Structure 1
Amino acid sequence: MNEIIAFAFLAFTSFFTLINPIGTMPIFMTMTSNLDDKHRAKTAKKATIAAFFTIVLFAFSGQLLFKFFGISVNSFRVVGGVIFFLMGMDMLQARLATIKVKEDQVKSYVNDISITPLAIPMISGPGALTNAIVMMEDATSVTHKIVLISAIFIVLLLTFIILWSSSKILKLMGETGQNVLMRLMGLIVMVIAVEFFFSGLKPILIDIFGKMN
């Protein structure tokens, strides 16, 4: 039971920090600034649903991709660790990864921004997809898999709620509050990155030195 709880906690915290709904809020508000509350909520709902299915699809199909391209999970852990670390560095310095859209092109995005770029790659970005694939590999039982999918669902439900109420939250937090929270999340992501990197590097090195002997 303790193992399941620990796995659930890791899944929730890692996905929440990597999806980073707090950091997505300012971008979401900018891209939906010309929409009323009803259409803004609809956009947030469509984006989070699309992101959920994208992440779950990658979680279950990741191993097939590995076998097809001859990639090992440990190699993916190392690369994922590097990706997470770079993301954490940006977050620690309170820099938001934004999708560059020119002002004269924003209106043309309105009808489809919920899928691109909101759902992909802002919510279900490289970090979240990498995390889904690696954690599904670590989910050794059906219970672990259910816990993982549940954690993804809860995080994206919270993401929807945060985006839906983003205008109110941003006013309450202020610019300083956003920067502080972003830095705290960045620190957590960097810790996860180190764990991922060395958990993948260790077996690779053991295998290399084992063959040398």
Structure 2
Amino acid sequence: MDLFFLALRYVAIVAIGLLPIMNPLSTIPLFLSLTGRMSEARKHQQAVRASLYAFAILAAFLLVGNGIIALFGISLAGIRIAGGLIILVIAFRMLFAGKDEGPEKADAIKQADMDFSFSPLAMPSLAGPGSIAVVMGYGSSIPDNHLILGYIVVLCGIGITIFCAYLALAGASRIARFLGEAGIQSVTKIMGFLLACVAVQFIASGVRDFVVSFTASAAS
């Protein structure tokens, strides 16, 4: 029972850590621009497909992340620090950027009969480099004696985050009317701050692992 509640706690930690970097609210302007001439049924289909694609992308990187690490000889500490730096850059862009460029970019490719669910909605908007780095960071933190449970926990956290993204995309029109452009920008700033905190934690964890590794090597 204690293990069950501990797993639930880490599911929440994964979701809270991933949600700011994914930031579904920042995808709303792009989604609205791309689907502006689509029917409501078509918009809903795009939201569902984008969410499923994003989940599949993140799940794939979670499951093969360790293989990539082994193939290229990358240390887990290096993955954490690199991921933290990537996330930190994105967080700074969210904190200090002006008006989101999504709608302007989308105007050049907007067509009502095209499928935008995989690109650019699922990747790179929802499952971008930052989200992938977070997922691989959590995957590298799974203890060896709880691999299966650890993957299930991270997948559940991804699923919760993707469900939030689906709700945001499915209700994009209503959310945009309710928050307004200024409201969406404010939420993006808050998400950026939370994301910066997550990035610093990843970097600090990686540096600590490097120090422990070098100390152990020197002692031996």
Percent identical among aligned pairs is 23
Partner of 1:190: 196
1:145 is displaced (CA, Å) by: 2.1
* Letter aligned with residue 110 of structure 2: V
Q: Does the C-alpha gap of structure 1 residues 143 and 105 become closer, same or farther in structure 2, counting only changes over 3 Å?
A: closer
Distance 2:106 2:178 in 1: 28
Alignment of 1:1-213 (within 5 A): 1=2, 3-95=6-98, 96=100, 98=102, 101=105, 103-107=107-111, 110-140=113-143, 141=146, 142-208=148-214, 210-211=216-217
Q: Does the C-alpha gap of structure 1 residues 57 and 101 become closer, same or farther in structure 2, counting only changes over 3 Å?
A: same
2:109 alignment partner, SS class:
helix
Distance 1:110 1:199 in 2: 46
1:94 is displaced (CA, Å) by: 4.9
What number of residue pairs does the alignment pair up? 212
Q: Does the C-alpha gap of structure 1 residues 206 and 151 become closer, same or farther in structure 2, counting only changes over 3 Å?
A: closer
Q: Does the C-alpha gap of structure 1 residues 84 and 46 become closer, same or farther in structure 2, counting only changes over 3 Å?
A: same
* Letter aligned with residue 85 of structure 1: L
2:184 alignment partner, SS class:
helix
The 8 Å contact of residues 58 and 132 in structure 1, kept in 2 or not, is answered as yes
1:14 is displaced (CA, Å) by: 1.2
Distance 2:52 2:120 in 1: 14
1:105 alignment partner, SS class:
coil
1:98 is displaced (CA, Å) by: 3.6
Higher mean C-alpha displacement, 140-149 vs 196-205: 140-149
Q: Does the C-alpha gap of structure 1 residues 29 and 73 become closer, same or farther in structure 2, counting only changes over 3 Å?
A: same
1:43 alignment partner, SS class:
helix
The 8 Å contact of residues 99 and 117 in structure 1, kept in 2 or not, is answered as no
1:45 is displaced (CA, Å) by: 0.7
Higher mean C-alpha displacement, 168-177 vs 95-104: 95-104
Compute the TM-score of the two structures, normalised by the length of structure 1.
0.91
1:106 alignment partner, SS class:
coil
The 8 Å contact of residues 94 and 182 in structure 1, kept in 2 or not, is answered as no
Cα distance per residue 1:165-189 (max 9 Å; x no partner): 1011111011222122111111110
1:35 alignment partner, SS class:
coil
The 8 Å contact of residues 32 and 110 in structure 1, kept in 2 or not, is answered as no
Higher mean C-alpha displacement, 179-188 vs 51-60: 179-188
* Letter aligned with residue 106 of structure 1: K
Q: Does the C-alpha gap of structure 1 residues 104 and 90 become closer, same or farther in structure 2, counting only changes over 3 Å?
A: closer
Q: Does the C-alpha gap of structure 1 residues 78 and 135 become closer, same or farther in structure 2, counting only changes over 3 Å?
A: same
